[in-house]
Amino acid sequence: MPSSPLGPTTVTVLGAGAMGSAITTPLVDAGHRVRLWGTHLDDHLIDAVRAGRPHPRTGCVLPESVQIFRHPELAAALAGAPVVVVAVSSVGVWDVASWAAPHLDRAAAVWLTSKGFAPDDQGLIQLLPQTVSRALARGGARDLPVVAVGGPCKANEVAARQPTAPLFALPEGAQAWAESASTAAYRVAHSADRDGVEICAALKNVYAIALGMADGLGEVGPQPWHDLKSAIFVQSLVELRCLLQAEGCDPWTALGLAGAGDLEVTGLSGRNKVFGSRLGRGQSVEQALDQMAALEQTVEGVPAVRLARTWIEQRQPALVGRLPLLEAIAAVVHDGAAIERVIAAALPATLVAA
């Protein structure tokens, strides 16, 4: 197996869900010693992989060399690990980073695959790398670089060693970390635009809900709604680019792997797209969420759109009213609006009089 430019090292992955388990495969292939730790919600997943069965969410067996740890074994899982990967849902990022903080004496970096927003103690909405840094500082850990992992990398495809194009983002040093994880299949690109990558990573889940609505509408009628889906895709990128520019990020990030690339794959499959398609088929928000929760499918875009709306009000009030698709998705998901609001927001505004 190839060695990374930083040398083979120990990597501990926190979170045994789909992406947490999946990323163990390229990390092993890149020559690292890999540990996988599960939260208290992951016991049944840990049972499956410890027994050598395929992971219930990816359908793939983990590499034999991966060491498996349960929730009470966090200190052992982190002991001496230079790289720690946080791979839990956005709502769990603060807790997991806080629990990990006292055990990071040998850590050189934290990699973050989680996507979304989180409020701080004063109710200000932050991107997740800032949340991780704040939790580590609160727990007494020294300042560590937090590498954002974005781009089109579906967990089942990562686990199956299919060609994947993730993106590692950090203001300085992203290339070295990207090269340390890259394999023939898991081909990691790099970027200095961490905030831009994180904004895209969080909001692509939101916009994928609207893409799913178009698919759902097509499933219940005689014709597909491909034109609408295309218009939604374009409007999503327009709004992402507008947000990045306002935040001082690189607007081209919206058109690269973190933006257009990740939005494309999320709109083809994934939980947010599936949730949107349920709405397009006529289910209520509550029905769709209940049925997906029964399948252990978390829809990250639902809390993300509410937090995104508040984040924009706090940081970019001049953009309120200028992101019609984002606002329409929030209205459908949280305010009881009909999906026709999304359709109207995605289509060009110009009307030709008869």
Query: What are the catalytic residues?
Result: 204
Provide the greatest CA pair distance for the chain.
72
Spatial CA neighbour of 298 closest among 83, 39, 123: 39
Alpha-carbon distance 120 to 65, whole Å?
38
Alpha-carbon distance 21 to 11, whole Å?
13
**Burial (CB count <10 Å: 0-12, 13-18, 19+), residue 142:** exposed
Spatial CA neighbour of 325 closest among 204, 225, 198, 221: 204
Contact 45, 16 (CB under 8 A): yes
Contact 87, 19 (CB under 8 A): yes
Strand locations in 151-262 (E): 167-169, 189-191
Contact 316, 246 (CB under 8 A): yes
* Cα-based angle 69, 70, 71 (whole degrees, multiple of 5): 125
Contact 146, 177 (CB under 8 A): no
DSSP letters spanning 56-90:
TTT--PPPTT-EEE-GGGHHHHHTT-SEEEE-S-G
Contact 216, 276 (CB under 8 A): yes
Alpha-carbon distance 46 to 65, whole Å?
15
